[in-house]
Structure 1
Amino acid sequence: MAIALEHRPVRHAAGSRGTGSPSRLLHHVFGRIVSAWRRHRAEREIEGMSYDLRKDIGFRSWDKTTR
């Protein structure tokens, strides 16, 4: 059995986003960059796997052939 999890950050209220110190803003931006890089690396690792291995761990085939 395979489980694929996806993390989506919680959206903050529009007024509370800009109310912080510059270091907090920098920390938030840096965290988003790190998160995007990790997501990119995970996608590249999955794309590098063979079709059979991806199929065995539960990823769908994007090859939509009709039978």
Structure 2
Amino acid sequence: MAIALQHRPLRRAPGIRHAGTPSHSARDLFGRIVSAWRRYRIERELEGLSFDQRKDIGFRSWDKTTR
């Protein structure tokens, strides 16, 4: 199973703080749900590729004989 991890820190303007309003919390939660769904779909697409295609785009081929 291939796992693609991507970390993007949140960009916020310095000095500007949100007031903690319910709409901001809901928007933040919705954004996290959308982000998780996109990560899930990308992982599923990568896992659906053949071994040779994954190797061509840079995934390592784990050879069990090199231990």
TM-score of the pair, normalised by structure 1? 0.70
Gaps of 5+ in 2: 11-16
Could you tell me how far 1:20 is from its partner in structure 2? 1.1
Gaps of 5+ in 1: 11-15
What does residue range 18-29 of structure 1 map to in structure 2 within 5 Å?
19-29=19-29
Q: Which amino acid aligns with 1:39?
A: R
Instruction: Name the residue aligned to 2:50.
Output: 50
Q: Rate the CA distance shift 1:5–1:43 in 2: closer, same or farther, 3 A.
A: closer
Going by fraction, where is helix more abundant, 1 or 2? 2
Stretches (4+) displaced over 6 A: none
What does residue range 1-67 of structure 1 map to in structure 2 within 5 Å?
6-10=6-10, 19-61=19-61, 63-65=62-64, 66=66
Q: Which amino acid aligns with 2:36?
A: A
The separation in 2 between residues aligned to 1:55 and 1:30, in whole angstroms, is 34
CA RMSD of aligned residues (A): 2.8
Give CA-to-partner distance per residue, 1:31-58, whole Å, 9 cap, x none.
0000000000000000000000000000
Could you tell me how far 1:59 is from its partner in structure 2? 1.0
Equivalent pairs counted in the alignment come to 59
Other structure's SS at 1:60 match: coil
The separation in 2 between residues aligned to 1:24 and 1:64, in whole angstroms, is 48
